[in-house]
Amino acid sequence: RALEIDLREAMDKQEFALFYQPIYDLRRDRISGFEALLRWQHPNRGFVPPDQFIPLAEEIGLIAPLGEWVLNRACEQAANWPDELKIAVNVSASQFRDPKFADVIANAIDASALSPHRLELEITESVLLGNSSETIATLHELKARGLRIALDDFGTGYSSLSYLRSFPFDKIKIDQSFVRDATATKGSKLIVRAITSLGRSLGMTTTAEGVETVEQLNQMKAEGCNEAQGFLFSRPVPATELASTILSLR
């Protein structure tokens, strides 16, 4: 059976789940929220990584309903968390460019009664490729509704500083490749330093992704990162393990 056929049936068969990874506020010394990460558990294939099925979902026109499911589910679950916890949701470029995207967001917020400032959308630089006026208008509309916008995987891909000028992001997420290297390679350390300095100057929060060791954590603190996320704190966990994850990081 082709992966595509299984993917088309996966939603009806309720094979998707959201896992949550804590994002840690280094200054306040507590969890500031969770990033939702989509998981597909197929009965025969086992766990299929998102890197495989998200591009396929985009190709076969399934990303809109799938992305809508993710947003609805994430908002619905986060609405039950303590108020100070935010929920971050990844949004791919094709999802973002869908003319119905702003409506999907509005519906998810209305249906869950989640306060919009608790919802953060993670977009990558690929969303901004071409710097179209529609994209910038959508970003401003979402911000006007009270949502927060984070620039994910910063420093990879089509990285361009002009993106930081075209829109007032709330957050820059420093790609894990720099974080991983920062304790060993001077270049990576200086790149982390430059990004945090840039973020600070522009009034944007900086988050170090992929922190796996105490050494990396200390390095990120020294460079002035505001937040950290990674296996050192916790792997992404199912919703049923959220409470114990929060307790373990107290």
Which residues are at the interface with ligand G (CB under 6 A)? 21, 37-38, 49-51, 54, 70, 90-92, 122, 152-153, 176, 209-212, 230-231, 236
Shortest-Cβ-distance residue relative to ligand G: 230
- We find the least distance from the C-beta atom of residue 21 to Mn ion, in angstroms, to be 9
User: Residue 38: which of Mn ion, ligand G, Na ion, none does it interact with, CB under 5 to 8 A by kind?
Assistant: ligand G
Instruction: Indicate the residue among 157 and 238 with the shorter CB distance to Na ion.
Output: 157
Residues sharing a CB contact under 8 Å with residue 52, sequence separation 6 or more, in sequence order: 3
Distance (Å, whole) CA 195 – CA 206: 8
State the pairing for strand pair 86-90/46-48.
Answer: unpaired
- We find the least distance from the C-beta atom of residue 87 to ligand G, in angstroms, to be 12
Distance (Å, whole) CA 97 – CA 137: 11
- We find the least distance from the C-beta atom of residue 197 to ligand G, in angstroms, to be 21
User: Which one of 35, 68, 152, 227 is in contact with Na ion (CB under 5 A)?
Assistant: 152
- Our finding on whether 227 is near Na ion (CB under 5 A) is no
Cβ proximity of 123 and 87 under 8 Å:
no
- Number of residues engaging Na ion in binding (CB under 5 A): 4
- We find the least distance from the C-beta atom of residue 22 to Mn ion, in angstroms, to be 13
Cβ proximity of 123 and 133 under 8 Å:
no
Binding to Na ion, residues 170-209 (CB under 5 A) = 173, 209
- We find the least distance from the C-beta atom of residue 212 to ligand G, in angstroms, to be 4
- Our finding on whether 125 is near Na ion (CB under 5 A) is no
Cβ proximity of 27 and 10 under 8 Å:
no
Distance (Å, whole) CA 57 – CA 67: 10
Instruction: Indicate the residue among 83 and 216 with the shorter CB distance to ligand G.
Output: 216
- We find the least distance from the C-beta atom of residue 232 to ligand G, in angstroms, to be 7
Cβ proximity of 21 and 235 under 8 Å:
yes
| DSSP 8-state symbol, 119 | E
Sequential DSSP letters for 139-177: HHHHHHTT-EEEEEEETSTT--THHHHHS--SEEEE-HH
Instruction: Indicate the residue among 118 and 180 with the shorter CB distance to ligand G.
Output: 180
Estimate to the nearest angstrom the gap between the alpha carbon of 242 and the chain centroid: 17
Site residues (vs Mn ion, CB under 5 A)? 90, 122, 152
Binding site for Na ion (CB under 5 A): 152-153, 173, 209
